[in-house]
Amino acid sequence: MSSNPQKSYIEVIDFHKSFGEKRVHAGVSFYVRKGECLGLIGGSGTGKSVLLRSLVGLEKPDKGQIIIDGEDIVPMNERQLVEVRKKVAYAFQGGALFDSMTVYENLAYPLREHTKMTESEIAAQIRAQLEEFGLDATAEKLYPGSLSGGMQKRVGLARAMMMHPEVVLYDEPTAGLDPYNTKRIQESILKMKAKGVTSILVTHDMPTVYAVCDKVALLIEGRIGEQYTIDKLKTEPSGVMTQFINGESV
Ligand SMILES: Nc1ncnc2c1ncn2[C@@H]1O[C@H](COP(=O)(O)OP(=O)(O)O)[C@@H](O)[C@H]1O
Ligand SMILES: [Mg+2]
């Protein structure tokens, strides 16, 4: 795959990562342009989550570069990575809300950590954010444990958006959701995209890839095996990716 450093906002170059003897990534390269959404698909255990975690510096590759907005984040220290994480939000698999805090406290947390906003400004932003994600203000007082899975995911995404990130990394945001909640998540992703947010969507949910992504890459045998634009994949399905999507062994 050719690189395109001028226009790319995220560029991963020759990413290698092993855990002990187990080689997971053996030279992953791809790029995402500003405002684009890349769908990243692949079998379970192929290293999709590790790749996303690496893009916010929660894992370090053994070898390779991760260029975000012109800067390689691989050599960065923790202090520099804190700055990167203000720009790049990672919406965790499962939502990752703090169970002992209300929805309000969960959403206020990043703002209290990273900004000097007043409590009334924080309250106003939380109200607006909940509305954006189709959640009622009454949800503020609830604890994550009392929310449905779909609502938890939406609150998790709302929290990831609190810092107005330029990049959002979605790790299986619709896994286990019913069609109604899946649709709400798709709408949220499209809203973020309309604001110019660049994103990577890791998922097994192909209807969501078709609904929100511009292109899709298949992670297989430690590399990006194939990549297509969504239009191309829809109109001329072929190759290993189509076999994978159709559930054939690849
Ligand atoms: N901290 C870790 N220690 C050891 N092995 C790990 C660790 N994190 C991930 N792995 C292994 O790396 C592989 C890829 O994991 P992951 O990125 O979670 O896969 P995916 O998200 O594609 O299902 C798996 O085989 C997993 O067991
Ligand atoms: Mg995963």
Is the predicted pLDDT of residue 185 greater than 80, yes or no? yes
Name the band, by pLDDT with cuts 50, 70 and 90, for residue 91: confident
Q: What is the pLDDT of residues 39-82, one digit of tens each?
A: 999 999 999 999 999 999 999 999 999 999 999 999 999 999 99
Using an 8 Å Cβ cutoff, are 136 and 177 in contact? no
What number of residues does the chain have? 250
Spatial strand order in the sheet of 22-33: 22-33, 8-19, 63-68, 71-72
Q: What pLDDT was estimated at residue 196?
A: 94
Residue ID of nearest Cα to ligand 1 atom 7: 19
Percentage of the residues of the chain whose pLDDT score is greater than 90 = 73
Least reliable range by pLDDT among 45-54, 64-73, 105-114, 199-208: 105-114
Of the candidates 195, 167, 226, 223, which has an alpha carbon nearest to the alpha carbon of residue 51?
A: 223
Q: Is 166 exposed, middle or buried (0-12, 13-18, 19+ CB in 10 A)?
A: buried
The pTM of this model reads 0.91
User: In angstroms, what is the span from residue 44 Cα to ligand 2's centroid?
Assistant: 7
* Residue 118 CA to ligand 2 centre (angstroms): 37
Is the separation of the CB atoms in 169 and 198 below 8 Å? no
Task: Answer yes or no: is 93 within a domain.
Answer: yes
* Nearest by Cα to 151 from 190, 128, 184, 179: 184
Q: Is residue 94's pLDDT more than 70? A: no
Q: Is residue 3 in a domain? A: no
Q: Indicate if ligand 1 lies below 6 Å from the C-beta of 44.
A: yes
Identity of residue 103: V
- 32 within domain boundaries: yes
Q: Which residue has the higher pLDDT, 236 or 32?
A: 32
Average pLDDT, the chain: 92
- Percent of the chain residues past pLDDT 70, beyond the cut: 96
Q: Is 250 within a domain? A: no
Number of domains in the chain: 1
Q: What is the dihedral of CA 119, 124, 126, 132, to 10 degrees?
A: -170
- Residue 110, domain extent: 8-245
**Residues 144/106, Cβ–Cβ less than 8 Å:** yes
Pocket test for ligand 1, best of 12, 15, 23, 24 (most atoms within 8 A of CB): 24
User: Ligand 1 pocket check: which of 19, 23, 44 to mutate, most ligand atoms within 8 Å of Cβ?
Assistant: 19
Averaged pLDDT for residues 7-24: 96
Is residue 138, in this structure, part of any structural domain at all?
A: yes
Q: Decide whether any atom of ligand 1 lies within 6 Å of the 25 Cβ.
A: no
Domain CATH number, residue 200: 3.40.50.300
Is 230 a domain residue? yes
CB of 50 closer than 6 angstroms to any ligand 1 atom? yes
pLDDT tens per residue, range 121-168: 999 999 999 998 888 889 999 999 999 888 888 898 888 888 889 999
Q: Which ligand is nearest to the CA of 220?
A: 1
222 ligand 1 Cβ < 6 A:
no
> With bands split at pLDDT 50, 70 and 90, how would you rate the model's confidence at 95?
low
What pLDDT score does 12 carry?
98
Q: Helix 119-132 and helix 149-161: axis angle, to 10°?
A: 130
Give 126 Cα–ligand 1 centroid separation in angstroms.
34
